[in-house]
Structure 1
Amino acid sequence: MANAGHAIRGSRVGAGPLGESERGDAAPRVRVSYWCANGHETTPSFSANEDVEAPEFWDCPRCGFPAGLDAAHPPEPMRNEPYKTHLAYVKERRSEEDGAALLEEALATLRARRTGLRRAS
């Protein structure tokens, strides 16, 4: 008699037959339909409070595209920009002339260090 019938099986803290009277009244809700470019419809629920407005766009849980309120004209999927290298970002900020000047300055610094090392040895 290891258990001796003292354990309550299939139950956990807070579980039980709770009804509306024990939980309280549910807040009034309104369901809003959104459609994505793939034709998926999603209907999240929002507070029916007049101070709360449903957002214009919602992410589609099936494909991740943005979904809008107009089924006939859903929003276009966002374009993903290709990965840029560090060099691409630098080229956006600097002209070719600036780059050449910086390179020459860095090479001059390296050459000065090398000549200093040769004299010290």
Structure 2
Amino acid sequence: MAGGNIIRGTRVGSGPMGENERGQAAPRVRIAFHCANGHEASPAFAADADVPEEWDCPKCGLPAGRDSAKPPTARTTEVYKTHIAYVRERRTDADGEALLDEALQKLRARRGEV
């Protein structure tokens, strides 16, 4: 015998894991969700849980619904806007020029150029 360790590959204190140690599992129900690409996902929910109307498809990421004949359409995502794009939405060019002139006057006054 190469090694004398009989419990090789196990941890001290580990034993058979089962429902006796973890408790009884809650009753579950599987609900089928269908996406527009024809994928089906069946996540398990607790029997007394509120099941959502939509679920994200794990294969393609599209929203999936319970009705296979009429799956939900893809959500439209808003294009990423930069900070300057949001500023331009709130201010006109005339407002921007006025703010720039004010800032330049303050800067010149601080430097003593006025």
User: What is the TM-score normalised by the length of structure 2?
Assistant: 0.78
**Residue matched to 1:3:** 3
CA RMSD of aligned residues (A): 2.6
**Residue matched to 1:102:** 99
Deviations 1:47-68 (A, max 9, x none): 112xx22111111111112111
| Contiguous gaps of at least 5 residues in structure 2 | none
What percentage of aligned pairs have identical amino acids? 58
| Contiguous gaps of at least 5 residues in structure 1 | none
User: Matched residues in 1 for 2:22 and 2:109: separation?
Assistant: 79
User: Matched residues in 2 for 1:15 and 1:99: separation?
Assistant: 71
**Residue matched to 2:34:** 35
User: Matched residues in 2 for 1:22 and 1:95: separation?
Assistant: 68
Q: How many residues align?
A: 113
**Residue matched to 1:66:** 63
Q: Letter of the aligned partner of 1:45 in structure 2?
A: A
User: Matched residues in 2 for 1:55 and 1:101: separation?
Assistant: 51
User: What is the TM-score normalised by the length of structure 1?
Assistant: 0.74
SS of aligned partner of 1:30: strand
**Residue matched to 1:75:** 72
Structure 1 residue 39, shift from structure 2 partner: 1.4
